[in-house]
Amino acid sequence: MKPRRALDKQLFSVEIKLPSGKQKRIQELNNRQYLTIIKYCENEDYRGLSLFFDDLYLSKDLDIFDRLYTLIYVRMIFVNESLSFNTKENREVDISLSTVLDKLEQNYTNLNKRVEHDNIVIDLGLPTCSYFETVEDIFNNVIQKITINNESIDFTSLSDNDKKAILDNLPTTIFKKLKAYIDSLSENLLDIEVIESNETLGISEIKLSIIGNGVMQFIAMIYGNNLRSFYEFIYAFYAHITNGSDVFFDISPVESKILLNIHNKRIQDENKELKKQNSQ
């Protein structure tokens, strides 16, 4: 896996505190990046989406709770602070993503564990990836540190090939303990509520299985946008705001919406004034 791109100090960034207690600084999401995200979502390419987010925001040491929290936070700050649902009565209801972040903070559990066998000590924790293609991916990403004969290795910093080489040489007893740990994670983190049901508003409860690909499917759901609609939005922005300029792709989605709303309000005000003058 290639290293995550470094922060550009000339661009805006915000610092957030994650459920694990870690703090990290995240850089503003721009429309060029958002368009790429929409394409991954539209094609239901969850692995590609996961790799793209890894490159943008997610360092190797972040567990899956922190990863989910980070990506929801980015969506809330730089795209839209709310999540829209259509009720059975065909009404549109908005839910603040800050309530989803609160739920993750409340549900965060430190499930770190240490397993030992002879001269091998392995420190385990929540998976440090967002998408799992195989069971081996889960094994690779619950191991935090391996100590053999008092020599420690930071497992999260290793390449996939190096991880595989180490795992291939571990005794069967260790694998049984690893499997038991993963089974316990699956049991404890099977249905994490992120959105409460609300019968009055007609909103159904949404739960996620943290040890599974429901996380990336949820992320794709909250970032997803109709690709044609987004291209129409780009066209409107260029036609009315910055004809001949490429600024659209350098600003965030929320900024571009604000600018277009300002333009639309000005047009409405001018039309009202013109109508008022014509009626006199």
In this structure, are 244 and 254 located in the same domain?
yes
SS3 229: helix
CB 214 within 8 A of CB 208: yes
Q: Indicate the SS3 state at residue 15.
A: strand
Q: How many CB atoms lie within 10 A of CB 215?
A: 26
Q: What is the DSSP letter of 267?
A: H
Verify that 96 and 33 share a domain, yes or no.
yes
Question: Is the separation of the CB atoms in 27 and 8 below 8 Å?
Answer: yes
Residue 31 lies in a domain: yes
Res 91: pLDDT: 74
Looking at the structure, do residues 34 and 103 belong to the same domain, yes or no?
yes
Secondary structure, 3-state, 108-127? CCCCCEEEEECCEEEEECCC
The answer as to whether 208 is a domain residue is yes
Output the furthest CA–CA distance in the chain (Å, rounded).
Answer: 94
Residues 44 and 84 in one domain: yes
**113, 181 Cβ separation under 8 angstroms:** yes
Same domain, 178 and 214: no
Last residue of a domain, one of 126, 160, 188: 188
Asked if residue 42 and residue 18 are part of one domain, the reply reads yes
Q: What is the pLDDT of residue 2?
A: 54
| Domain final position from 160, 188, 216 | 188
Task: State the residue range of the domain holding 131.
Answer: 113-188
Nearest 5°: CA angle at 219, between 140 and 254? 135
Examine the domain organization and report whether 198 and 75 are in the same domain.
Answer: yes
* Same domain, yes or no: 145 and 214: no
Residues 196 and 104 in one domain: yes
pLDDT averaged over 10-residue windows placed end to end, the chain, 280 residues? 62 93 95 97 95 94 94 96 78 86 90 91 93 87 92 89 88 91 86 78 78 89 92 89 80 92 82 76
Q: Are 57 and 74 in contact (CB under 8 A)?
A: yes
DSSP 61-122: T--HHHHHHHHHHHHHHHT-SEEEEE-TTS-EEEEEHHHHHHHHHHH-----EEEEETTEEE
Element (H, E) at 152: strand 151-154
Best CA proximity match to 252, nearest among 78, 35, 14: 78
Residue 160 lies in a domain: yes
Same domain, 179 and 100: no
pLDDT digits (tens, 9 = 90+) for 152-193: 999 988 888 898 888 888 889 998 999 999 999 888 887 788
The answer as to whether 6 is a domain residue is no
Model pLDDT, residue 264: 79
Q: Of 188, 212, 240, which one is at a domain's C-terminal end?
A: 188
pLDDT number for residue 38: 97
In a domain, 5, yes or no: no
Quick one: 242 and 220 in the same domain? no
pLDDT of residue 201: 67
Residues 104 and 18 grouped into a single domain? yes
Is residue 2 a part of any domain in this protein?
Answer: no
Domain total in the chain? 3
pLDDT at 253: 95
